[in-house]
Structure 1
């Protein structure tokens, strides 16, 4: 019988091991949407179970890193589980034309929204034409 995609274990779906030669810790790659427009970039990531305080978003050498430990605290003893929580981890290369100093992030209801504007040098400029 085929495996039901709703009940497959996380290690068969989207849980990955980070740096397998160094660590046995497992990570989940959060689903991400990235939209770029003339003002900059907007990244939206689905990170349920993480807290705002534990969420780590940083940019270093053109690499955007999002990481957070997932926290699932429910009183009682688990009698049935279809999924397991693991820490979140995702990295992206982003253009140097973005102004990382002016980045702004919001985390509401498990959704991280990160806005990084383009630097003034990278924005398109209209050049006035002189007559004469």
Structure 2
């Protein structure tokens, strides 16, 4: 039964508060990568334009929102639909290891990328060993 559930249904979030649009809110698929100096978060938000992306950081909570414009198909009658129209939202709690002042966000082709530098205290430091 669980295998039959559509991807859109699995990604849909429960409405927990008031909304100004009668649309679903979906959890965007996220990949997180790490380098020695950065944590990189990549969010898939198809249909979201760069000007419709909102990234906020309040205290330690990073929230990503993407608004998809409403689409109507004039002159057509809907017979069947699997694509659910709605907005995207996802939140993360950042550790103290992230330098919050230097987070960079870019958006291209419906994909949001956040490059979050690690704080100096979180970076690995090599300690040289001297012969005694």
The two structures share one fold, judged by TM-score above 0.5: yes
Whose helix proportion is higher, 1 or 2? 2
Q: Report the TM range for the smaller structure's normalisation.
A: 0.7 to 0.9
Cα pair 1:43 1:114 within 8 Å, conserved: yes
Structure 1 distance, partners of 2:121, 2:102, is 14
1:14 aligned partner? 11
> What does residue 31 of structure 2 align with?
33
CA distance in 2, matches of 1:39, 1:9: 34
Q: Is the 8 A contact 1:49 1:72 kept in 2?
A: no
Match of 1:88 in 2: 88
Residue 122 (1) aligns with residue 122 (2): yes
Per the TM alignment, residue 84 of structure 1 is displaced from its structure 2 partner at its CA by 2.1
Q: How does 1:5-84 map to 2 (within 5 A)?
A: 5=4, 8=6, 10=8, 12-19=9-16, 22-23=17-18, 26-73=24-71, 76-80=74-78, 81-84=81-84
CA displacement at 1:74 relative to structure 2: 5.5
Structure 1 vs Structure 2 CA RMSD? 2.7
Any gaps of 5 or more consecutive residues in structure 1?
none
Is the 1:29–1:89 contact (alpha carbons within 8 Å) kept by the matching residues of 2? yes
- TM-score w.r.t. the length of structure 2 is 0.79
